[in-house]
Amino acid sequence: MFEYEQEIVGTLLNENENFKQLYSRHGELKEKVRDANSGALLLDGYELDTLKKEKLQIKDKMAAMINAYRQDHLG
């Protein structure tokens, strides 16, 4: 995730508590989705879709924060 933005992600993880919380939650959701897809976590389709949607929403929020940081600091 955000492979091309590692420097900005690192900075935001150190400087922005909200970004840090979003990043952590995204990681938790990523694991749950992976476990559900592998059969290690039993979820019905609705629950899995809900997790995927939340994960995507968080990723979108982080992307917006990265873009804002880039515009504010890198011109």
pLDDT digit string, tens, across residues 5-37: 899 999 999 999 999 999 999 999 999 999 999
Rg (CA), the chain: 14
12, with CB counted inside 10 A (0-12, 13-18, 19+), is buried
What are the tens digits of pLDDT across the range 45-60?
999 999 999 999 999 9
pTM: 0.89
Do 29 and 62 meet the contact criterion of CB atoms below 8 Å apart? Answer: no
Q: Which amino acid is at 29?
A: L
Each domain of the chain, given as residue ranges in start order, spans: 17-74
